[in-house]
A and B are shown apart, each in its own frame.
Chain A
Amino acid sequence: MSKGFLVFVESRGGQLRKASLEALSEAKRLAQSADVHAIIVGKDIKGLAAELAKFGPTSILIADNDLFANYSSEAYAKAVTEAVNKLGARFVLAANTSMAKDFIPRAAAKMDAACVTDVMSIKGGGDNLEVTKPMYSGKCYGVYELNSDVSFITLRPNVFALAENGGEAKSEDLSVNVEKVRAQVSEVHASEGNKVELSEATVVVAGGRGIKGPENWPVLQNLCDTLGAALGASRAVVDAGWIDHQHQVGQTGKTVSPQLYIACGISGAIQHLAGMSSSKVIVAINKDPEAPIFKHATYGIVGDVLEIVPKLAAEVKKAQG
């Protein structure tokens, strides 16, 4: 009998994170007959259990405490490891978000456990899973075996399908004995920029040198607004100071896997391709017909970004009715 799964489900501002629910959906697919428990951690979060139950966990552990009101790696790692000890879970899954990236490896070290992050596919079931993740920013992939009593896996957002399985999961309070918190979030400042998070967006519109100058971002932003897309950028324009680093896609920026990636005036340096080549559909718009980006694009248009993008936005709007 398999020892089952535990899924860490992140919440922010009273909302369950979609990427976490993708992880829960994947755990349900992998678990076969084993249990899939979910854990939520925070303050005043009991109300989230009903929404979470729709995704079919066996049970929901709720660590609701003043200590969790402000995020801390130490307290969150402790909550998850205590849940693992209580349930005897074989696998712990979480979405590869900035929160999970911070504390899941810490929890794994606490349990002397295997940990693989940013996983894009999982094979097997029951007690044996084989996980595949991008290496060298997606220039190649590594297939890992996990050889510890409990293993931690974080899943790339946007890659695993959501599935509402329904169910009547019972909730249970998890009391966590946190001995020490020596570092904790004291303030959160919303950053200007994307309303849709780049790494979780289903559509990304990205700009490079071909947009000619930072004064032309509104042209791309308009297309983003029409498509509900996040705005990305090449390293060249980030390094030139045209836009903040949080928009950078590629080897020293973010790696994205949207349904649709529209590269505007991006030539397609190997470091950039690494960050976006797992997108389902790639559109390239570039005035240089020899630009390497065209080799990777599903559809290409040769021409001036500043002429084409507004026309594209208008045409999309027309199609949307």
Chain B
Amino acid sequence: MKIAVCTKAVPDTETRIAIAADKKNIDFAGVRFVTSPFDEFAVEEALKLKEKHGGETVVFSLGGAECTAVLQDSLARGIDSAVHINDPDFANLDTLSTAKVLAAAIKDGGYDIVLLGQQGVGGDNSQVPSMLAELLDWPQTTMVVKLEVEGNQFKAEREIEGAHEVVTGSLPAVFSAQKGLNEPRYPGIKGVMAAKRKTIEVKSAESLGLKGKVSTELCKAKLKEVLMPPERPQGRKLEGDIDTQVKELVNLLRTESHVL
């Protein structure tokens, strides 16, 4: 079984966001990059599938220098090899262009399964897995909390509003990982040492045959401006004994905020 995992390098979730001077992105100065949290579940699932069924795992990441540490992190956890897709043409791509790049890198690799996090921190789009499945012409299951594979068949459980759906289908397929799918392992010292001997292959727009076909300029969803959220009006702490405060709260929710 050959498994691809796609990971994104994102600012640590503790990061306080500031807007860049051109207002077209956030200010990345001093930001620590980590593997996007949902992608950790995808990496772990790839490792578990390999442990059970044998085969090969390859991690992909699209981006600049910030990807190196993220790819090394996946290698240290046990992924066999890594592909870094790095090209200035691919800076700040929209979801569809990102999916096109990943599809080009994955399509002829003989993969049975592609795993991604259900959403990447930052754009918060939840789009790339489904787009990638369409571009590869494979079936998909997103928001997966349980995955079983037998031969070329799969059974995946996904979280929906107030229920779990069981999806059955055939491989090859794309899956996006939701929290709850597994408990990601942490890389040990041995893993970190082993990762140093593993290769990170670098791909460009040219080598993927995408020169002039995918670029920042050609994106169809254009990020025009990044804004800070509207400031919340100053709130207040209520006063008096607990009974008085509770009465006052209910009164305010009814007569001032009109939400009760």
Decide: A114 near B220, CB < 8 A? Known: A140-B228, A187-B166, A301-B237.
Answer: yes
B158 close to A (CB within 8 Å): yes
Nearest B residue to A271 via CB reads: B13
Decide: A277 near B139, CB < 8 A? Known: A114-B220, A186-B168.
Answer: no
Which residues between 83 and 112 of chain A lie within 8 Å of chain B, taking CB atoms? 97-99, 101-106, 108-110, 112
Contact with A along B128-146 (1 / 0, CB 8 A): 1111011100111111000
Is there an interface contact between A251 and B121, defined as CB atoms closer than 8 Å? yes
A289 close to B (CB within 8 Å): yes
Contact with B along A44-75 (1 / 0, CB 8 A): 00000000000000000000000000010110
Decide: A188 near B134, CB < 8 A? Known: A98-B159, A303-B242, A316-B250.
Answer: no
Nearest A residue to B172 via CB reads: A182
Nearest B residue to A294 via CB reads: B237
Is there an interface contact between B99 and A109, defined as CB atoms closer than 8 Å? yes
Contact with A along B106-146 (1 / 0, CB 8 A): 00000000000000011111111111011100111111000
Which residues between 304 and 321 of chain A lie within 8 Å of chain B, taking CB atoms? 307-308, 311-312, 315-316, 319
Residues of chain A contacted by B151 (CB below 8 angstroms): none
A252 to B142, CA, bound (A): 15
Nearest A residue to B126 via CB reads: A101
B161 close to A (CB within 8 Å): yes
Decide: A98 near B160, CB < 8 A? Known: A115-B95, A280-B259.
Answer: yes
Residues of chain B contacted by A112 (CB below 8 angstroms): 96, 220
Is there an interface contact between A141 and B142, defined as CB atoms closer than 8 Å? no
B26 close to A (CB within 8 Å): yes
Is there an interface contact between A252 and B37, defined as CB atoms closer than 8 Å? yes
Interface of B is mostly: mixed
Interface band, chain B:
35 or more
Is there an interface contact between A248 and B179, defined as CB atoms closer than 8 Å? yes
Contact with A along B5-41 (1 / 0, CB 8 A): 0000001011111010000001000000000011000
Nearest B residue to A317 via CB reads: B250
Residues of chain A contacted by B247 (CB below 8 angstroms): 315
Decide: A73 near B166, CB < 8 A? Known: A110-B134, A146-B220.
Answer: no
Number of interface residues of A (CB under 8 A): 97
Is there an interface contact between B238 and A301, defined as CB atoms closer than 8 Å? yes
A118 close to B (CB within 8 Å): yes
Nearest B residue to A116 via CB reads: B221
B243 close to A (CB within 8 Å): yes
Decide: A186 near B96, CB < 8 A? Known: A143-B227, A252-B37, A316-B250.
Answer: no
A96 to B69, CA, bound (A): 33
Selected contact of A251 from candidates B13, B154, B224, CB within 8 Å: B13
A145 close to B (CB within 8 Å): yes
Is there an interface contact between A117 and B125, defined as CB atoms closer than 8 Å? yes
Q: Give the shortest distance, in Å, between B52 (CB) and chain A (any CB).
A: 20
Nearest B residue to A196 via CB reads: B162
Q: List 28 A-B contacts (CB under 8 A).
A: A73-B130, A73-B133, A73-B139, A73-B141, A98-B159, A98-B160, A105-B131, A106-B133, A108-B127, A113-B96, A117-B127, A136-B122, A136-B124, A141-B227, A142-B226, A146-B222, A182-B169, A183-B173, A185-B166, A188-B164, A227-B260, A260-B257, A270-B14, A298-B233, A298-B257, A301-B246, A307-B242, A312-B250
Given contacts A183-B169, A191-B163, A319-B254, 4 further A-B contacts (CB under 8 A): A101-B130, A137-B121, A189-B164, A299-B236
Complex A-B, nearest 5 residue pairs according to Cβ-Cβ distance, in ascending order:
A183-B169, A183-B139, A105-B127, A114-B220, A182-B139
